[in-house]
Every structure is written in structure tokens, then in C-alpha cells.
Amino acid sequence: MNSNVKVRFAPSPTGYLHIGGARTALFNWLFARHNKGVFLLRIEDTDQQRSTEDATQAILDSMKWLGLDWDEGPYFQSQRLPTYKQHAERLVAEGKAFYDTDAEGRKAIRFQMQDGVTEINDLIHGIITFDTSLIEDFVILKADGFPTYNFACVVDDAGMGISHVIRGDDHISNTPKQIALYKAFGFAVPEFAHIPMILGEDGSRLSKRHGATSVTEYRDKGYLPHALVNFLALLGWSPGNDQEFISIQEMIEKFTLKRANKTSAQFNNTKLDWMNGQYVKNTPVERLTPDVKKFFEKSGIDLTKISEEWLFDLVSLHHERFKTFQDLLNQTRFFFADAIEYDQGAVDKFLRKEGVGELLKEVYTAVSLVNTFGKKTLEDCLRTLTEKLGVGFSKLAQPIRVAITGKSVSAGIFETMELMGREKTLKRLDYAVKNLCETSESVKF
């Protein structure tokens, strides 16, 4: 810490950490690390109705998962009530605030706005001016003794020595109120940097109806934290060239507010998926496998009889084919199930065709005679069979694929058979021959 930079991320625990908040946290963190400053975390739990401990925990977990470590805190505003009260009373004593009772009989303290013009020199928007006569006297201390957002924010930012306030631009219109408070107290006004918001895929404000919006949801769907961080960093910031993949270290080195956008960005899941897939591809299988294991177990897959080696091979085989762990699970479920689900369209197209039953019987016989059940021997065996039968290889591959995986899409057929093992492979071929290949018509007529 050799600079005067001190920033904070100050979420309110009224819900999970959503990606907009995560991006704000990331920018603050990057700014602090780049400037060798301090990054602190403050929980703004001044809304007694809506704040929950679960939400606080989820926010902390999300920050950790993303790798956004903080140097101070977390501070909780709910534990600093006396400080706010004292500050509010000071303003009353100085004639800058006053007690006010509303129609419901609630007694609060309001700050008295002065008419005038307030100018803020925002680090990313430039100069913004406000006519403060348009701002009404606002409540700073609520009837329940809790401070309001604008008040607690100023008391804390000033008290904690925050040098730069980096937050979403939905706070721009709060800024003149806060500046009025800084001035009333005689506090030094920090620098402000209002970063654009992240919008949903339809361009409207991000909300639950946009599907996954919280960091924990992405974690639970099997995304890699670095991929999410990389993706988020590029939403509203760019290193200035065409670089898409940036390591955390590089982000820290290159991050400046000067390169942050003013324009709000729409969250695009498709591109996130692509990016996650790229990160998966570029992560060694040995590093991926433990996480895959955890993910599969959490998803209810019984791995007690599965060896580490086998799982490693499974990941290897699908390494370039899956974008998220959830994706991998969807693709490989048939390996684990006893009774697999068959895609009806695939069965109709590749199994319920004349001659396929006989074909698979030949496959069964040939495969059952293979010495070692490996991809090389299986390939030799089946290539030989196609020659003997005089058919193209795809005539064989697809029916086998559907028979053993239940789907018309999978990884390489030899590798899949090898991984599945002789017993299960033969069992499924046999099942298909007996139950899936004969058309219902031929049975009836």
C-alpha cells in the first residue's frame, strides 16, 4: 500500500450479489490493486425490512469465489448506529438539519438543502451540474434510528477515508445530495467515478426475469470464476486493443478508469458461454477434474465407484466439447445411469430402420470378441466389420451411438465405448437390438 487510493464496495444485503454488483466490485478491486491501494468491503444493511443474513453470506461467498479479496471489513452499517446518530445531531445543532414529523407521526431528521449549483467532475463522465433547488430536504436519520443510504454513505466514506467512489451510474443523481453533506460537515469530497450499469439481454434493467443474474447461480451452473471475471471486465472496460483473454494479473496492470466506458452494456449469456468454453479448453484436465468431481457430486451423481483415472479420462474426452460443468454433465449423464433415456427422434431415425437390428447384432458379436476393450481395437474391429458388410462407417456409428448413449450426438464412438466399458456397452447394444430396433408396426402386423 503505497498510494492514497482507498476504495470500497458497498452492497446492500437485500439479495444475492448480481452481476452488475459483481462488476462494480471488480472495478473497485482492480482499481485498488492497480494503484496499490486499499479495497474495503462495507455492508449497507440499513434497511431493516429487506436486509438478510443469507444475502450477506451470499455476497461474501460470491466475492471469495470470484477472487475479489478485501483488505478491510466487512463493516456493517447496522453496527455503527451511534456514529450516524451523533453526526445527524451535530447537523441539527448547527442548524443544517431539523427534526420533522410526517403524516404517520414518524419523527425523523431531515437535511436542509441549500439552493445553488453543484458541479461534480466525474472521472468517467466529466463535469455534471445540478440545480440543488430541485432537490428537496431529505431524510438522513429515519424514525427507527437507522440512517438513510445517502447519509450513512457519506459518514462512512469520509470516516473511512475513501479516496475514490466507484459505483453504478444509477447513483449519479444521489451525488449532489452527498456532496451537500460533505460540505455541511466540512469533509473532503472524494473523487467520483460512475460506471455504466449492466442491462439484461433485452436492454431493460437487469432483474430476475432475465434468468440467471446472480454470481452464485453462475457458480452453481458450473462456470469458471476466471471466465466470469474476464467477461465482466470486458463489459464496460477494454484494455485498448483487440485482446479478449486477459489474466487477472494483466487486468490489474492495465486497468485504468480512463479506459472505462460510459455506455451501459447488455449482458450476453451466449458470449459468456463461449468464453467459459475457451477457459475450459485452456485449463489442464488435471486442474479441471477435481472441480468436475465436486460439481457432479453436488448434482447427485454417485461417484463412489468411479476412479479418479476414469473421471480424468471422461473430462479429457470431452475437454473441447463442453462449455460449463453443467454442460458436461448433460452430455455425459448416460455413463452414470443404469436405465438411460432415449431420444425418441434419434431412435426413430437410426434404430427403427430395416436391417439395423441385424447390423447391431453383428456389432454385438464382433465387439464381444475383442480382446482388449480399447478404442484402437474397437476401431479395428468395427472398421473390419463395415468392410465385411460392405457399408459406410456412418451406417454403423450412428445406430451404435444411439444404442449406447441414447442420443445421436456424443464424443467419438470408440472412445465412448472404451470409457463405458465392455459390460455396459454390450448390455446396451443387446437392449437396443431386443427393444428398440423392431418397429412397432412390424410387431403388430
Active site residues: 208
Closest distance to RNA from the beta carbon of 264 (Å)? 6
Query: How far apart (Å, rounded) are the C-alpha atoms in residues 382 and 106?
Result: 83
Among 36, 281, 376, 434, interactor with RNA by CB under 7 A = 281
Tell me which residues in 203-262 interact with RNA (CB under 7 A): 203-205, 234-236, 238, 240-242, 244, 258-259, 261-262
Shortest distance in whole angstroms from residue 168 CB to RNA:
8
d(CA 108, CA 383): 84
173 binds RNA (CB under 7 A): yes
Site string for RNA, 329-368 (x = CB under 7 A): ----------------------------------------
Segment interacting with RNA (CB under 7 A) among 60-68, 83-91, 357-365, 395-403: 395-403
Please, is 17 exposed, middle or buried when counting C-beta atoms within 10 Å of its C-beta (0-12, 13-18, 19+)?
A: buried
Binding mask 74-103 for RNA (x = CB under 7 A): --------------------------xxx-
Which residue type does 147 have? Answer: P
The residue length of the chain stands at 445
- Beta bridge partners, 109, equal 99, 141
Which run of H or of E encompasses 333?
helix 325-336
Q: Helices then strands (H, E): number in the chain?
A: 19, 12
| Least CB distance to RNA at residue 27 (A) | 12
Give Dmax over CA atoms of the chain in angstroms.
100
CB closer to RNA out of 71 and 169: 169
Among positions 185-204, residues that touch RNA (CB under 7 A) are 196-197, 199, 203-204
Whole-angstrom distance, CA of residue 368 vs CA of residue 248: 51
Question: CA nearest 181: which of 106, 90, 73?
Answer: 90
x/- mask, RNA, residues 23-52, rule CB under 7 A, reads ---------------------x-xx--x--
What is the C-alpha separation between 335 and 346, in angstroms, rounded? 18
- The interface region with RNA, picked from 58-66, 126-134, 305-313, 434-442 by CB under 7 A, is 126-134
